[in-house]
Amino acid sequence: MANDTLSVTDNRTGKKFELKIENGCVRAMEFRQMKVDAEDFGLMTYDPAFLNTANCKSAITFIDGDKGILEYRGYPIDQLADKSTHLETAYLLMNGELPNKTQLDEFTNKITLHTYVHENIKQFMDGFRYDAHPMSMLASTVAALSSFYPEARQVRNKEVRRHQMMRLIAKMPTLAAFSYRHSQGLPYIYPNNDLSYTENFLTMVKSIGKPNWRPHPALVRALDVLFILHADHEQNCSTTSVRVVGSSEVDPYSACAGGITALYGPLHGGANEAVLRMLREIGDKKNVPEFIAKVKDKDGDKKLMGFGHRVYKNYDPRAKVIKKACDEVFEVTGKNPLIDIAVELERIALQDDYFVQRKLYPNVDFYSGLIYEAMGFPMEFFTCLFAIPRTVGWVTQFEEMITDNEQKIARPRQIFTGSKKRDYVAMDKR
């Protein structure tokens, strides 16, 4: 389109500029040419928290936040949740296309072959206090993996890089399960390569005293669906962390450890834990209006956890799938009584002007914690259940970043607001 430009007049100098508009964006570097004199650094753009800045081009995940659409490589999330498996979705994300049977078998086999971790990792785990948060243990042990695979530094070597990506996807359930067992004072259970990815994980977490114990197939499927829903979500906080850390060309284990720590926070992956704490605090359906009033109180510091999203200004499509999955899980586990409070919160919030005007809807974390709790996971473990599947997104985005010729080491600018240059003052003169 001939008019795909932005005309800018710099009123400080009267100079006019034509900036190219591409993919709905102008390049921030175009502003650098706008200077008041030769000494001037040039105009920058200021965008705290990247509210309106695209940091990359990506072909992995598409979100239309206004319409509530989420697609992996073009496939709608509800179709994948209904028909796919986590490992098939992982293949799709990593390779861009759904696998045929041979490709999926090979991929599954490779992942399965890498589920074991070095025996030293167990000693590493044992070093943590009995009450260490599983996410701290997960972040540290994933970072430690880089010391076991020094070749991982060759991030520009595709074969080596892919090897580490498979290892990360394969080992994450084992490390998460070990962190759970450590926090429960239980012996570690080694991976069983006869089982599927998700069945193996649940077995490593839950099996006690019965070597042939297997989780209920409905729960395996429900968790696999949750894994699919969490596999990627384009440039969220943890993925951006992985890209930023990885842009220094550090190995993918170190970069993913950065992603895990970002995910740990209550505004990101830690929100499902916060939702359960909130539902407990509310305690009963009848207390919901009072709680909503506290959330709306400008002087208070309460948020409706599991509501709102930077990108979705509509119902999070993942929350829809999870809400449905609740019933299937509760049929096996019995109903989680907190669901009644959650449903009432959603009902009242969605009719309330405060939430309607701000387009605040339930997000992925609003119902997921209820399922995790019904499955018998302690709250502290919920974010690990997010980190396992998100590893697929992290490594895929890491690879996309490393192979993108436009990317460089991430290094934003700042607006300096501190003191001007001044001379050091001796202690007795201060």
List contacts with ligand CMC (CB under 6 A). 236, 267-269, 271, 295, 303-310, 358, 360, 363-365
Q: Tell me the closest approach of the beta carbon of residue 307 to ligand CMC, in angstroms.
A: 4
By Cβ distance, which residue is nearest to ligand CMC?
A: 308
DSSP 147-212: HH-GGGG-TT-HHHHHHHHHHHHHHHHHHHHHHHHHHHT-------TTS-HHHHHHHHHH--S-TT
**Pick 63 or 125: Cβ nearer ligand CMC:** 63
Task: Choose between 40 and 297: whose C-beta lies nearer to ligand CMC.
Answer: 297
Q: Under a CB-based contact definition with an 8 Å cutoff, are residues 70 and 63 in contact?
A: yes
Q: Which amino acid is at 409?
A: I
Shortest CB 362 distance to ligand CMC, Å: 9
CA distance 299 to 306: 21
Query: Which residue is it, tokens 């994933």?
Result: 142
Q: In angstroms, what is the minimal distance from the CB of 318 to ligand CMC?
A: 9
In angstroms, the CA 175 to CA 126 distance is 12
Closest separation between CB of residue 385 and ligand CMC, Å? Answer: 12
Tell me, yes or no, if 114 is annotated catalytic: no
Query: Does the annotation count 404 as an active-site position?
Result: no
Cβ nearer to ligand CMC, comparing 178 with 227? 227
Q: Is 82 a catalytic residue?
A: no
> Is the CB of 122 or the CB of 294 nearer to ligand CMC?
294
* Nearest approach, Cβ of residue 146 and ligand CMC (Å): 25
How far is the CA of 276 from the CAs of 152, 243, 250, 360, 384, in angstroms?
Answer: 38, 30, 36, 19, 15
Q: Convert 297-308 to b/e letters by CB count within 10 Å (16 or more is b).
A: eeeeeebbbbbb
Q: Is 185 left (phi over 0), alpha (psi -120 to 50) or beta?
A: left
Q: Which of 86, 133, 309, 316 is catalytic?
A: 309
d(CA 135, CA 132): 8
Given the residues 114, 268, 352, 404, the one annotated as active site: 268
* Least Å from the CB of residue 271 to ligand CMC: 3
CB closer to ligand CMC out of 295 and 325:
295
Catalytic residue, chosen from 224, 232, 251, 365, is: 365
| Closer residue to ligand CMC (CB): 36 or 267 | 267
Q: Are 372 and 381 in contact (CB under 8 A)?
A: yes
d(CA 56, CA 234): 10
In angstroms, rounded to a whole number, what is the distance separating the alpha carbons of residues 64 and 77?
Answer: 12
Q: Which is nearer to ligand CMC, 152 or 245 (CB)?
A: 245
Q: Are strands 5-10 and 15-20 parallel, antiparallel or unpaired?
A: antiparallel
Maximum pairwise Cα distance, the chain: 79
Instruction: Give the residue numbers annotated as catalytic, written as ranges.
Output: 268, 309, 365
